[in-house]
Structure 1
Amino acid sequence: MNRSALIRAVFFGTVLQLAMVLAGHFVPFVKDNVFMWGGMAISLIAGLVYAWSARGSLVDSLIGGAVAGAVCALLGIVVSVGLGDTEPLILAVGTVSSAVTGLIGGGIGRVLNTAKAKT
C-alpha cells in the first residue's frame, strides 16, 4: 500500500466527513437526510483519491480504497457520536459500509487510471 497516497486520501476524506458532521450538528436536515449517503459517498471519493494517487495494482487500489474509506468515516463517526448526533452502533455499521464504498471507489479509480493510461 502506498503510504503517501493513503495519508492524502484519508486526510481529504476526513476533512469532508468532518465538514458534513459539523454541518449536521447545526442543520437537522443534513443530520436526518445526508449522514448515511453523504458519508458513504465521501468514502467512495476517498477511495478514488487513493487509487488516483497510488497508481498501483487493482488489488492495491481496492485495499487502499477500503482502508481510506473506513478510516475517514470512522473519524467522522467518532466526532458525530461525541456530539450526540449519532448512535454508537453506527461506529461499526458506518465504518464497514464506508469501507465497502471506499473499496468501490478504489476500483473505479483504478479503472479510470488504466483507461487514461491507454489514451
Structure 2
Amino acid sequence: MNMLVTTSISATPNGTTRPQLRIVIVGHVDHGKSTLVGRLLHETGSLPEGKLEMLKTVSARRGMPFEWSFLLDALQTERDQGITIDTTQIRFRTGSRDIVLIDAPGHAEF
C-alpha cells in the first residue's frame, strides 16, 4: 500500500486560510485501504453520529459480518462484493488544518 500526501493552503468560509493536507490511499486489491481509513475515522471520532451503529445493524440484518471498510462504501454493490468501485473523499478538520482522505479502488479496471 502506498500513500501520496500533498499540502496546500485552502480558504475557509470566513476568508482565512488554513493548510490543507490531501492523502490518497492506493494499493493492490484486498490490502486494507478502506479498512485503514474506516478505522482511522472511527478512532479519531470523525464519523457522523449514528453511522457506525446503522452499518452494524444493516450488516446484521443482511447476515454479513460488519467490516470497517463499510464506512466508506457508498454503494451497496461495494459492500456486497467487498470491493471499492469508486473513489471516496472524506473531509475533516483538525485544530490546525483541513484534511482530505481519498480512498482509491485497488482493481485495475476501476
Common fold by TM > 0.5: no
What is the TM-score when the length of structure 1 is the normalising length? 0.28
Q: Which has the larger radius of gyration?
A: 2
Higher helix share: 1
- Scaled by the length of structure 2, the TM-score of the pair is 0.30
